[in-house]
Amino acid sequence: MTPAARISAAIEVLTDIEARRRPANDALKDWGLAHRFAGSSDRAAIAGLVYDALRRRASSTYVMGEVTPRANMLGMLRLERGLDVEAIAALFSGARFAPEPMSDAERERVAAANLDDAPPHIAGDYPEWFDGSFAAVFGEARVEEGAALAARAPLDLRVNTLKVERDSETAELAEYNPEPTGWSPVGLRIVVAPGSRSPAIQSEPSFIKGGIEIQDEGSQLAALFSGARPGEQVVDLCAGGGGKTLALAAMMENTGQIFATDTDKRRLSPIHARLERAGIRNVQVRTPRGSTEILEDLKGVIDLVLIDAPCSGTGSWRRNPDAKWRMRPGALEIRQKDQTAVLDRAVPLLKPGGRIAYITCSVLDEENGAQIRAFLARHPAFSVEKPDRVAAVLGERGYLFTKAALISGDGLLMTPRRTGTDGFFVSILRQN
């Protein structure tokens, strides 16, 4: 396919997403099935265009003065890809398979594209109804924080130290030019160019043999900050597919016991194969059975409950840019109720002096600090571990991390702008 044909295809996919209010991945998959002539490089390029357009939807349509998939694409090519008017006009030529030529008004808009006077939610590319929440957390920096959440994310890997060392995996994956992550001592980072295919990591021998897992550095750090130690009794209360369960098992050197569960057994289904591949022996999966409390026998004996709480996912917008435009305020309220319930469910499991690691991939105070403050009001026997002690697990990098992250009395917040990771909030609650 020509570059212009790829632009046309991306506009077609964006139109489908808007008309049917569906996830971008589903629309892209359906387009690929309906256009089997498109090669893998074509599909990768089209996906890159679609996701870049979704990342910059607010700012792109603002500069074009029109909220349409075509305007979204034109504005994105100028703001995100940095193409000038003539380069964009060459793509929008009206030739076979190319989009219709730009009008005089469109050319003028592209040439004058400027966000200097744009409202914060436009310049930061996030939904307007989030602006009050962003202002409460980031203040005047909310435009920069929003823009960082709209940028492309790298591909991060966690090295499974139960099987391999980071240096050996760096050499094993040399063709992808991996670099050690800035904070996590067990992470590798691969930067993927715009429009390029992501590395087929899951086909690599290192992945198949359980030496590496795909996991954002922020998620790796959240697990490390839990302070799980060899020999402890741990519950992963919202284990899902098991990403943090696997990280905890490596931290605990395959000793002690981890009880992994989730309210939805469908989310747990991938965990069994992942545990086997990683060579993990200290995890017991507790699959939910209706309304039965499957952790009843663990009350009062657990050292650590890890809560990777259900949340808005605002911290992962780099990876799911379409999600921010589909979310509605009602969904946030539901997530807050879920968070309150899971926090309270953790308390009876702890033995005296036990702790809760509360984690979200959100940057909103409603799901982070406000939840912690409300929890402490309900459970005054708990206190928040000081962030410098939490970050001490990073050794000499811990101090620098506390200067980079957003620190409060409720916990610590990572963001792409501050720490180069996805957005993650972590609070360690210790029973006094």
| 311 among known catalytic residues | no
Q: How far does CA 382 lie from the centroid of its chain?
A: 29
- Residue with structure tokens 């990768």? 44
Buried b (16+ CB within 10 A) or exposed e, 154-184: bbbbbbbebbbebeebbebbeebebeebebb
Cβ 152 vs Cβ 318: under 8 Å: yes
Tokens of 118: 């744009």
Distances (CA, A) of 100 to 7, 69, 87, 91, 112: 11, 13, 14, 9, 21
The count of C-alpha atoms lying within 13 angstroms of the C-alpha of 281, restricted to the half-sphere facing its C-beta, is 8
Task: Say how far apart CA 385 and CA 355 lie, in whole Å.
Answer: 9
Q: Which of 63, 361, 372, 390 is catalytic?
A: 361
Cβ 311 vs Cβ 362: under 8 Å: yes
Phi then psi dihedrals of residue 305, to 5 deg? -110, 120
Does 262 count as an annotated binding residue? yes
Task: Say how far apart CA 120 and CA 134 lie, in whole Å.
Answer: 10
Tokens of 151: 């940028």
Amino acid found at 122: I
List, in sequence order, every beta strand (DSSP E) within 309-403: 350-360, 382-384
Cβ 142 vs Cβ 125: under 8 Å: no
Helix 69-79 to helix 104-111 angle (10° resolution) is 40
Does 308 count as an annotated binding residue? yes
Annotated binding site: 262, 308
Annotated binding site for S-adenosyl-L-methionine: 262, 308
Give the active site residues. 361
